[in-house]
Amino acid sequence: MATQINHAELENIFAGIEGCSFVSLHTVTTPTLTGGKSNPQQGRIRKHGRMVVFCGGSPQYGKMVNKKAVEAYEAMFGDNPVDVRPFQPENLWKGKGEHVRGAVVRHNETDARYLMVYVPSNSVPTVEYTIDGAPIAKEDIVGLKPSSSKKSVTVDGVEVEVTIVPCTLKLSSVRSFKVNGEIYVVEQDDNGGSVGNGGQTVEPVDEATRVFNETQEVLRRLLEEVEKLNVKK
């Protein structure tokens, strides 16, 4: 069974994560296509992401981010000692980030809330697209911008490209998730916004249970990743 919650309850759950937890997520976003309003598919495409991630407060999250940065730096410049600037949520969006609590960060210009997450290298997110609710192949989407997980971080004053960097997911994009053994479904209004009184117990929706039922093997592999990262709470 899953518990139906509203947006405020969603934020409270993730704000309460102080350590580092495994979370199964199903997100839905609307990608911006090229071509502006003249693109007939603009605003009609939805991107559905299903993933298993680490989610947690900044100290543990920062250790993982910094370790990946050091690895990338050493791959470029050898095994010379480096002084890695500790990751802070305030570094997000070119200094416009703010740590709210737990795994929740805020963009201090837009006031939008985001989750801080880390996608381990052995966890591959599943991505599907729909148009007006019907499945559509990625190659059939007009003006879809290419995406890449490679970004850069600053290590010892040098911009280093890494595949694992501070990753944020907009809180309003979360549709369902599993954390600490509990399954939650976020109630949506007609426009996809999170609403409702919450607290109701409902049958898990198909799109949520599909990823939840596949997490056992993924979690085993992630535990191996944690051991490699030597994350200390």
User: pTM of the entire structure?
Assistant: 0.71
- Dihedral (C-alpha) 186, 92, 130, 43: value to the nearest 10 degrees? 100
Range of the domain at 156: 2-229
Residue 9 one-letter amino acid: E
pLDDT per residue as tens, the chain (233 positions):
789 999 999 999 999 887 677 889 999 999 999 999 999 999 999 999 998 888 866 555 666 666 666 676 677 666 555 555 556 778 788 889 898 888 898 999 999 999 988 776 666 788 999 999 999 999 999 999 987 655 555 555 666 555 555 578 999 999 999 988 899 999 876 554 444 334 444 444 454 444 445 444 554 555 565 556 555 54
Indicate the number of domains in the chain.
1
Q: Within a 10 A sphere around the Cβ of 26, how many other Cβ atoms?
A: 24
Residue 120 one-letter amino acid: P
